[in-house]
Structure 1
Amino acid sequence: MARDPDTIQREIEQARDALAATLDQLSVKASPKRLVEGAKSSARSRLDDPKVRYALIGVGVLVGLLVVRRIFR
């Protein structure tokens, strides 16, 4: 059964519009600026956790003591 050329043309245009909309959504999701902002907010939320914050402070103090010990040896 042959299809009408106008119908085929409309389907092609609809598919093209759908593809363009999908590409626009992907470009927004993969935006470097958006990815950086997401990473920043994730890091901030992890650093707000007291367990992580105090562990990092402890590691910093330990490294500082090791450096001071190395200098005055």
Structure 2
Amino acid sequence: MARDPETIEREIEQARTALASTLDQLTVKADPKKLAESAKDGLRAKLDNPKVKYPLIGGGILVVVLLVRKLLK
């Protein structure tokens, strides 16, 4: 069954519009600045958690103490 050329052109134009919309959405989602900002916000949120924050502080203090002891010997 042959299809009308005008119908085919209309379907192609609809497909182009849908593709352009999808590409615009991907461009917004894949913006490096937004991805970096999102990662930074996520890391800050994790570091604000006391269960993560205090062990990291303790580990940092331990490293500093060990370095000072090694330098003084």
TM-score, L = length of structure 1: 0.97
In structure 1, runs of 5+ residues without a counterpart are none
CA distance in 1, matches of 2:27, 2:55: 38
1:2 deviates by: 0.6
What is the root-mean-square deviation in Å for CA atoms of aligned residues? Answer: 0.5
CA distance in 2, matches of 1:17, 1:70: 67
Instruction: List structure 1 segments (4+ residues) > 6 angstroms apart after TM superposition.
Output: none
CA distance in 1, matches of 2:62, 2:6: 75
Q: What amino acid does structure 2 have at the position aligned with 1:60?
A: G
Percentage of pairs with the same residue: 64
Aligned length: 73
Matches within 5 A, 1:20-39: 20-39=20-39
CA distance in 1, matches of 2:30, 2:55: 33
1:58 deviates by: 0.4
CA distance in 2, matches of 1:24, 1:63: 48
TM-score, L = length of structure 2: 0.97
Matches within 5 A, 1:1-73: 1-73=1-73
